[in-house]
Amino acid sequence: MKFFIDTANLEQIKEAQALGILDGVTTNPSLMAKEGITGEENILQHYRAICESVDGDVSAEVIATDYEGMVQQGEALAALNPQIVVKLPMIAAGIKACKYFSDKGIKTNVTLVFSVGQALLAAKAGATYVSPFLGRLDDISTDGLNLIEEIRLVYDNYDFGTQILAASVRHTMHVVNCAKIGADVMTGPLSSITGLLKHPLTDSGLATFLADYAKGN
């Protein structure tokens, strides 16, 4: 399972990268705005900095909602670095643009996916990644994990190469449950990754080992 971090915060990206287990980064316009990154040039520059801070794929989202605009913005993003994955919204123009980029060998991530039918269309358009938003479905009392399970079933039925990128992951149990049901990738905040490190028996066990070692030295 690949681990992506879902942030535009360079410090957090570097912290996750330093752990040695990071496979990439996802961003979105809200995460960029949260870091105070505004204006086209600053946003492009920030994507360059993210690519330099991480080994692996970096999803960069288009803002246009029409096909021509998506193609233009996606090409500008893809030209920044081979690590860039063009992130496209799950609307008709996004699917059409996804097909355009897949035919050109440019990686894509179809985002804002909330149904199996949408995921099927993204796979048909040759998406590299499809992003079902697990946490946002849970927020409205719908089973987000169930959506990922159903997409897994459909993709396996037809051997689609599109990778299921479990997005909107909020906590460690989302990560563990996504791994159990076969999501290819998860993207979440730094806390959803570092939280996996923690267990009280690890802490108490280590404290005992160190104390026993100290007794003999």
Residue 6 CB, nearest distance to ligand E4P (Å)? Answer: 4
Active-site residue identified among 2, 14, 34, 87? 87
111 contacts ligand E4P (rule: CB under 6 A): yes
Two tokens at 145?
Answer: 């994990």
162 contacts ligand E4P (rule: CB under 6 A): no
Q: Looking only at Cα atoms, what is the longest distance across the chain?
A: 72
Nearer to ligand E4P, 151 or 204 (CB): 151
Instruction: Annotate 13-44 with three-state secondary structure.
Output: HHHHHHHCCCCEEECCHHHHHHCCCCCHHHHH
1 DSSP 8-state letter: -
32 contacts ligand E4P (rule: CB under 6 A): no
Nearer to ligand E4P, 6 or 57 (CB): 6
Radius of gyration of the chain (CA): 19
* Burial of 53 (C-beta count, 10 Å sphere; 0-12/13-18/19+): middle
192 contacts ligand E4P (rule: CB under 6 A): no
Mask: binding to ligand E4P, 127-146, rule CB under 6 A, as x and -? ----x-x-xx----------
Q: Kindly tell me which residue out of 3, 5, 6, 127 binds ligand E4P, with binding defined by CB under 6 A.
A: 6
Pairing of strands 24-26, 57-61: parallel
28 contacts ligand E4P (rule: CB under 6 A): yes
Residue 107 is among the residues annotated as catalytic for this protein: no
In angstroms, the CA 123 to CA 148 distance is 14
Residues at the interface with ligand E4P (CB under 6 A): 6, 26, 28, 111, 131, 133, 135-136, 167-168, 187
Active-site positions read 87
